[in-house]
Amino acid sequence: MGIAISAALAAATRQLRAAGLAEPRREAELLLAARLGRNLAYLYAYREEILSAEAAAGYRDWVSRRCHGEPYAYLCGEREFMGLPFSVTPACLIPRPETELLVEAVVAELAAVSAPEILEVGTGSGAVAVALAVLVPDARVTATDISAPALSVAAGNAARHGVRERITFLSGDLYAPLAARNSSFTVLVSNPPYIPSGELAKLSRDISGYEPLAALDGGADGLHYYRRLTGELPALSCKPAFLALEVGKGQAGAVSTLCRGAGYEDVRLLRDLAGIERVVLARA
């Protein structure tokens, strides 16, 4: 006998609660809506509809994986960022809401610049590069990542949002893919891995068990990539006019010092909604 939407939701809610999830009913609803390709209103309107055997089995699978910590975004393959839907896979970090501050800051800085050239290092899902290309329609973007699988997700997202032809994706370590190119960039934007290695084990299992280590591990003190991003700028044929870097809690001071050491004097810090200094902006 089939199971109705209301009964499937009730069973999933019990299972998710027993697994310790904070909002079990909400999660149960979101998972079922995504599984059915419907919105939440559909679940409320058709509470007694009987799920097909395939939908019921698929839903049970997702609920069980969610109970083990697999992030919702990887299960349904999607995450919204800057109001745009992005495909995500376990090859790339799930874009975070605080990273929207980084994008907004770059858009504001570029308001008076025509045809800016943007360099993003560590593009992951491409959320930052694609959102910037959408929001700054005369910009050209170069986006790099050391992970080829992540770049392929990013390229798909660029195509999905109609900006593929304005973004060049390059695979390799930091600035290495740019070595043979004589490009000059208006801005370097990056949200590099910044979790200190010793803190990785303390992350929730949703993160440590599923998101790529290469997107998280910032070395012994979390600052490894900021040292490299600022210290290796001479590898670029021309220094970017400004830098926009997302930072972890408590890192803004050290990263500001690194920016000044690289010749960027006008340094500003932006706080996220939690009051944490989250973005370092620096002008040459």
Ligand X SMILES: C[S@@+](CC[C@H](N)C(=O)[O-])C[C@H]1O[C@@H](n2cnc3c(N)ncnc32)[C@H](O)[C@@H]1O
User: Is position 151 an interface residue for ligand X (rule: CB under 6 A)?
Assistant: no
User: Is position 150 an interface residue for ligand X (rule: CB under 6 A)?
Assistant: yes
User: Is position 124 an interface residue for ligand X (rule: CB under 6 A)?
Assistant: yes
Integer-rounded Cα Rg, in Å, for the chain is: 21
User: Is position 123 an interface residue for ligand X (rule: CB under 6 A)?
Assistant: yes
Kindly tell me which of 31 and 101 has the beta carbon lying closer to ligand X: 101
Cα–Cα distance, 26 to 20 (Å, whole number)? 13
Q: Kindly tell me which residue out of 128, 136, 163, 188 binds ligand X, with binding defined by CB under 6 A.
A: 128
Q: Which stretch binds ligand X (CB under 6 A): 14-22, 32-40, 140-148, 274-282?
A: 140-148
Closest approach of ligand X to the CB of residue 102, in Å: 7
Distant-in-sequence, close-in-space partners of 67: CB < 8 Å, separation ≥ 6: 15, 16, 18, 19, 21
Residue 125 phi/psi, 5° resolution?
Answer: -70, -10
- Residue 166: name the closest of 134, 196, 192 by CA: 134
Q: Which stretch binds ligand X (CB under 6 A): 14-22, 47-55, 123-131, 237-245?
A: 123-131
Distant-in-sequence, close-in-space partners of 33: CB < 8 Å, separation ≥ 6: 39, 40, 42, 43
Cα–Cα distance, 251 to 269 (Å, whole number)? 11
Q: Which stretch binds ligand X (CB under 6 A): 19-27, 28-36, 59-67, 139-147?
A: 139-147
Q: Kindly tell me which residue out of 99, 142, 186, 251 binds ligand X, with binding defined by CB under 6 A.
A: 99
- Residue 87: name the closest of 79, 75, 95 by CA: 79
Kindly tell me which of 193 and 196 has the beta carbon lying closer to ligand X: 193
Question: Is 160 in a helix, a strand, or coil?
Answer: helix
Kindly tell me which of 36 and 119 has the beta carbon lying closer to ligand X: 119
Closest approach of ligand X to the CB of residue 128, in Å: 5
- String marking each residue 77-96 x if it binds ligand X according to CB under 6 A: ---------------xx-x-
Q: Which stretch binds ligand X (CB under 6 A): 11-19, 44-52, 138-146, 250-258?
A: 138-146
User: Is position 122 an interface residue for ligand X (rule: CB under 6 A)?
Assistant: yes
Helix (H) or strand (E) holding 43: helix 40-45
Closest approach of ligand X to the CB of residue 173, in Å: 4
DSSP state of 51: P
User: Is position 146 an interface residue for ligand X (rule: CB under 6 A)?
Assistant: yes
Strands (E) located in 68-164: 78-81, 84-87, 117-121, 140-145
Using CB under 6 A as the binding criterion, the count of chain residues that bind ligand X stands at 23
Looking at residues 201 to 220 of the shown chain, list those that interact with ligand X (rule: CB under 6 A): 214-215
Cα–Cα distance, 87 to 122 (Å, whole number)? 17
DSSP state of 142: E
Cα–Cα distance, 258 to 277 (Å, whole number)? 16
Beta bridge partners, 120, equal 143, 189
Kindly tell me which of 144 and 256 has the beta carbon lying closer to ligand X: 144
User: Which stretches of the chain bind ligand X, using CB under 6 A?
Assistant: 92-93, 95, 99, 121-125, 127-128, 144-147, 150, 173-174, 191-193, 214-215
